[in-house]
């Protein structure tokens, strides 16, 4: 079984060992006092292994590569994709957290990328064991490194099942993180960004 290594947000030498994952799920079921051989659980280890392979698919890609394709558009105005839905897994308890990402940048020298690439960027970093703070920063850093924009802003809102299902047990609590780079730190630009995100959001 190969170890998964993540260096500076990039996946290297990654292999998903389904057989090992199945054995681990089987051991967990036994550890909690269940009978893995009963009808409802007989195929669960294989199903869970396949599910986790999909859920953590971001470990087997470099999400920043989605930004390799750029083109020129005569604009220096803000580009914002709002309400990008995402699902991730908290690395502390391996429970889901999910919500919406708002990703914006201000192009430099008319250099832009496809709008769908921003959603793919979020998806790639989200599908890993994560903490929301790091996830927010990784998305912003990839935009800075690949597009060299004048400014970047990433805002993420999420509900964490480790707060809902266990521990404090507060369903509906929302965690908001943000990362601003370049001229997005300018008060007027930041205010414009927040107005665009909050002013047109869904109910």
Catalytic hit among 130, 132, 138, 141: 132
Active site residue 160: yes
User: Residue 97, Cβ neighbours under 10 Å: how many?
Assistant: 24
Question: Is 174:158 a contact under the CB 8 Å cutoff?
Answer: yes
154/139 Cα distance (integer angstroms) = 7
Question: Is 59:124 a contact under the CB 8 Å cutoff?
Answer: no
Catalytic hit among 90, 123, 138, 181: 90
Catalytic hit among 61, 102, 153, 160: 160
Active site residue 93: yes
Q: Residue 168: which residues within 8 A CB-CB, separation 6 or more?
A: none
Active site residue 132: yes
Question: Is 130:86 a contact under the CB 8 Å cutoff?
Answer: no
Catalytic hit among 43, 91, 133, 145: 91
Active site residue 92: yes
Quick one: tokens of 41?
Answer: 């659980």
Q: Are strands 79-90 and 96-106 parallel, antiparallel or unpaired?
A: antiparallel
Helix, strand or coil, per DSSP, at residue 41: coil
Active site residue 162: yes
99/84 Cα distance (integer angstroms) = 8
Q: Are strands 79-90 and 129-130 parallel, antiparallel or unpaired?
A: parallel
Active site residue 91: yes
Catalytic hit among 92, 133, 145, 191: 92
Active-site positions read: 90-93, 132, 160, 162
């Amino acid at each position: 079984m190969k170890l998964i290594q993540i260096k500076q947000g990039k996946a290297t030498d990654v292999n998903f060992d389904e057989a090992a994952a199945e054995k681990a799920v089987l051991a967990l079921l036994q550890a909690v006092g269940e009978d893995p051989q009963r009808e409802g659980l007989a195929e669960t280890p294989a199903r869970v292994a396949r599910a986790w392979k999909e859920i953590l698919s971001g470990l087997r890609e470099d999400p920043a590569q989605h930004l390799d394709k750029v083109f020129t558009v005569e604009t220096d105005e803000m580009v914002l994709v709002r309400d990008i839905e995402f699902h991730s897994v908290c690395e502390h308890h391996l429970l889901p957290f999910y919500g919406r990402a708002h990703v914006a940048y201000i192009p430099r020298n008319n250099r832009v990328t496809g709008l769908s690439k921003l959603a793919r960027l979020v998806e790639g970093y989200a599908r890993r064991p994560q903490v929301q703070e790091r996830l927010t920063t990784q998305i912003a850093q990839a935009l800075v490194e690949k597009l060299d924009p004048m400014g970047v802003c990433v805002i993420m809102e999420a509900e964490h099942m480790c707060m809902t299902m266990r521990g404090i047990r507060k369903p509906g609590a929302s965690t908001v993180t943000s990362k601003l780079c370049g001229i997005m730190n300018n008060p007027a630009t930041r205010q414009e960004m927040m107005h665009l995100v909050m002013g047109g959001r869904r109910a």
